[in-house]
């Protein structure tokens, strides 16, 4: 550990010790050469963590899990107290929604969920609007934070650096932010982390959008298939009903022909002639005929069946009293 207090930082060194000898070979001292390898160590850790995230994306892990893991990875790799947040853009790019922020308080995440993308709307809203990084080193004095200063103070946030997450085609996907508890100016290593992980976040979010689009297309295909199957079922039902009506019409036509033959001997029967095989004892009330000249007498119910089911059948007007009774029915 180098330094103390708030300025303390963890450092790594490679040390080589060699004996120093005099002309006779006796050891007279020790020479030590130390090379700081902190950046190398951090780079190795960054590569390992980045590889894990890429493997998660390849396995189609949930977007929330990938972003949460990314945020925790960055927080563990940095030497300073940093809290990471990822906001996701709405399809129109006009608003930002909560994506991941494992170390920020819930009340803060809920308050900024849905903020607009616009100039002067915090670090993230401005970064989304500009499509470029926005560095706020002191939230207490920066005008971008006028509407959120009290909220940030309650959450213990003093600085915020936000970088837009942009798709390959230029669409806004979200923002990547690094918060600090004290005013801070970013170092080159901070910019490097932002570059690496905004690219990783873009890959994960784009993959998520592809999966959503694929699922929606599959749902539409299933709906279309079900609609087609239902149309086939309805068509089959209608065809069966049409066949039933055709059979009923044929039977009624046959009854009319039989009734016409019987009517030659009895012009005005007393009972319905259209009752079919079961017969009908109801008194006759209407006379129906068809375009072939075949006529029959029937009760209201069976005469109506003939009118509805046999296209060529119509009411005979010879019995105006019966016709009037049918119309008034």
Topology annotation, domain 10-59: Beta-Lactamase (3.30.450)
Over the range 80-118, which residues count as b (16 or more CB within 10 Å of their CB) and which as e? eebbbbbbbbeeeeebbebbbbeebeeebbeebeebebe
- Three-class SS of residue 61? coil
Sort 130 into a burial class: Cβ within 10 Å, 0-12 / 13-18 / 19+.
middle
| Window from 153-167, 192-206, 250-264, 297-311 with minimum mean pLDDT | 250-264
User: What is 60-186's CATH number?
Assistant: 3.30.450.40
Query: Any bridge partners for residue 164, and if so which?
Result: 175
**110: CB partners within 8 A, 6+ apart:** 98
Query: Any bridge partners for residue 13, and if so which?
Result: 36
The model's pTM is 0.56
Please compute the mean of the pLDDT values over residues 29-50 and round it to a whole number. 79
Q: Which position has the higher pLDDT, 304 or 28?
A: 28
The DSSP output letter for 271 is B
Please compute the mean of the pLDDT values over residues 259-268 and round it to a whole number. 60
Residues 141 and 149: their CA atoms lie apart, in Å, by 9
pLDDT tens profile 67-109: 888 888 788 777 667 899 999 999 888 999 999 999 999 999 9
Q: Which two tokens stand for residue 107?
A: 């009340």
Tell me the residue length of the chain: 329
Confirm if 27 and 21 have CB atoms less than 8 A apart: yes
| pLDDT band at residue 328 under the 50/70/90 scheme | low
Confirm if 113 and 124 have CB atoms less than 8 A apart: no
CATH 3.30.450.20 placement within the chain: 10-59
| pLDDT band at residue 318 under the 50/70/90 scheme | low
**174: CB partners within 8 A, 6+ apart:** 86, 87, 88, 89, 96, 99, 128, 164, 165, 201, 205
CATH 3.30.450.40 placement within the chain: 60-186
Q: What is the pLDDT of residue 313?
A: 76
Q: What is the pLDDT of residue 180?
A: 92
pLDDT at 264 over 60: no
pLDDT at 320 over 50: no
Provide the mean pLDDT of the chain: 82
pLDDT at 303 over 90: no
pLDDT at 33 over 70: yes
């Amino acid at each position: 550990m180098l330094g103390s207090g708030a300025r303390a930082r963890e450092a790594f060194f490679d040390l080589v010790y060699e004996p120093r000898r005099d002309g006779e070979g006796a050891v007279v001292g020790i020479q030590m050469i130390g090379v700081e390898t902190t950046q190398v160590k951090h780079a190795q850790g960054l590569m390992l963590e980045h590889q894990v995230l890429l493997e998660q994306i390849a396995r189609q892990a949930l977007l929330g899990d990938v972003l949460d893991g990314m945020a925790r990875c960055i927080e563990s790799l940095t030497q300073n107290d940093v809290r990471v947040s990822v906001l996701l853009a709405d399809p129109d790019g006009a608003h930002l929604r909560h994506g991941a922020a494992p170390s920020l308080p819930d009340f803060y995440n809920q308050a900024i969920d849905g903020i607009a993308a616009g100039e002067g709307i915090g670090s993230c809203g401005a970064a989304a609007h500009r499509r470029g990084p926005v560095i706020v080193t002191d939230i207490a004095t920066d005008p971008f934070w006028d509407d959120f200063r009290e909220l940030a103070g309650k959450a213990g946030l003093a600085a915020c650096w936000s970088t837009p997450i942009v798709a390959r085609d230029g669409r806004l996907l979200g923002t990547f932010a690094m918060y600090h508890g004290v005013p801070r100016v970013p170092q080159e290593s901070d910019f490097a982390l932002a570059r690496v992980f905004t690219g990783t976040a873009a890959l994960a979010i784009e993959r998520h959008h592809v999966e959503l689009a694929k699922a929606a297309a599959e749902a539409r295909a299933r709906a279309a298939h079900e609609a087609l199957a239902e149309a086939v079922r309805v068509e089959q039902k209608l065809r069966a009903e049409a066949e039933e009506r055709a059979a009923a019409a044929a039977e009624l036509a046959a009854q009319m022909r039989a009734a016409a033959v019987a009517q030659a001997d009895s012009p005005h029967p007393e009972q319905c002639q259209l009752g079919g095989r079961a017969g009908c004892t109801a008194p006759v009330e209407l006379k129906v005929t068809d375009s072939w000249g075949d006529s029959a007498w029937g009760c209201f119910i069976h005469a109506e069946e003939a009118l509805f089911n046999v296209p060529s059948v119509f009411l005979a007007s010879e019995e105006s009293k019966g016709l009037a009774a049918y119309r008034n029915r």
